[in-house]
Amino acid sequence: MKRALPLRLHATLATMALAAATGTLVSMPEAAAATGGATGYATQNGGTTGGAGGQTIRATTGTAIHQALCGRASTSTPITIEVTGTVNHANTKKVSGAGCDTADGVIELKKVSNVTLVGVGSGALFDQVGIHIRESKNIIVQNVTVRNVRKSGSPTSNGGDAIGIERNVRNVWIDHTTLEASGGESEGFDGLFDLKDNTQYVTLSYSVLRNSGRGGLVGNSESDRSNGYITYHHNRYENIDSRAPLLRGGIAHMYNNHYVRLNDSGINSRAGARAKVDNNYFEDSKDVLGTFYTDQAGYWQVGGNIFDNVTWSAPGSENRPAGPEPKSNTTVSIPYSHALDAAGCVPAIVSRTAGANKGLQVSDGRC
C-alpha cells in the first residue's frame, strides 16, 4: 500500500537563517508537518495524528524540545517539534511550564497529548539520550536515530531503553526511526522499544532495530497483561539476541518485517499473548517464533512467511519453538486495512525504506 511522501515545510529565508545562526527555537505559526498517515493499530481508538493542526517549532537541542513542550498553553495543545542536529546529555535539561513534565538527560513526553517529534534537515540524532513516553496519548515520533542509551555505566538515560512507553498510554506511532545499541545488558543497554503498564494502540513501522541484546517487549512481567493492539510492519531487526519482540498478553500483528541474525530467539509470544505473523522474511536466525523462557504459553497465527537458514531448538518445558514447520495455534482478527507485500520482496523493500533519513519512503509493492 503506497503512502504519499510528506510535503516539504515552508519557511521564510529569514526564519531559516535565524534558526541556523542561533540554534534556538523558531516558531512557525500556521505550519504543520505533513508526516503522512498513521498505519496499523495506531489508526484505531480514534486514530493517531500527533501535533497536526498546531504550531510547528524547530529545536536543535533536548532542552529546546522541552522548552517547546513547556511553552504550550496546556499539555494537550497540538504541537509539531522539528528536530535537527545532535541531542545529548549536555544539551538536554529539565524545563518547567504549563505544558510539560520534563527531566535532565531524557526526552520526556510525560502526561502530554497531541505531539509530533520529527527529524528534519540533515537528520536528528539522540546520542545516549532516550525518548520516554508516559501517561500520554496521540504521539508521533518520526525520522530520528536513537543510539546507545544506557541503564548502567555513564551516562544513563531512560532505564536503558531507546524508546520506552509506559503507564496508561494510548495511540502512538513510531515511524522511520533507527534504534541501535552497541551490545546487551552486560554492556549497559536494555531494550530498543519497550511497552508496558497499560500501553495500547501502537504502531512501529519502517524502522531499523539493530545490535542489541534486546529488541523490545510488550509487558514488563508475566502479570503485566494490560498492553496490546500493537503493529510491527516493514521493520528490520538485525543482530538482536532476543525479544523481537517479547509479548506478554495482548494482541500484536507483525507483517512484512525482515529479521536478520536473531541470535537466541525472535518473536516470543507468552503469557497468553496472540501474535499474527504475516509475510515476514526470517534469515540466518534461531528460534524466530515460539514461547521461550517460561512455562506460560502464548499463541500465534502464521501465513506467508519465509524461513531462510533458520534453526530450531528441541522443545522443552520452558522452550516451545513454533518450528521447524510453524503452524497456527490461534486466530487473530485484524480490524484495519493493510496490503501485504510478498515475503520474497520484503528484504529489498525494507532495505530501501526502513530507518531514519530515508526520505520517509514507503513500500510501493514492488521488489
User: Which residues are annotated as catalytic?
Assistant: 243
Alpha-carbon distances, residue 291 vs 213, 257, 295, 297, 321 (angstroms): 18, 19, 8, 6, 6
Which amino acid makes up residue 234?
Answer: H
Task: Convert 77-94 to b/e letters by CB count within 10 Å (16 or more is b).
Answer: bbbbbbbbbbbbbebbbe
User: Phi/psi at 62 (nearest 5 deg)?
Assistant: -65, -35
User: For residues 298 and 289, what is the distance between their CA atoms, to the nearest angstrom?
Assistant: 10
Place of cell 525518548: 131
Collect all residues with Cβ–Cβ distance below 8 Å to 156 and sequence separation of at least 6.
105, 150, 188
SS3 state of residue 299: strand
SS3 state of residue 51: coil
Per-residue HEC secondary structure of 209-225 comes to EEEEEEEEEECCCCCCC
Task: Convert 292-317 to b/e letters by CB count within 10 Å (16 or more is b).
Answer: bebeeebbbbbeebbbeebebeeeee
Of 99, 135, 139, 104, nearest to 118 by C-alpha is 139
- 282 contacts 259 by C-beta, under 8 angstroms: yes
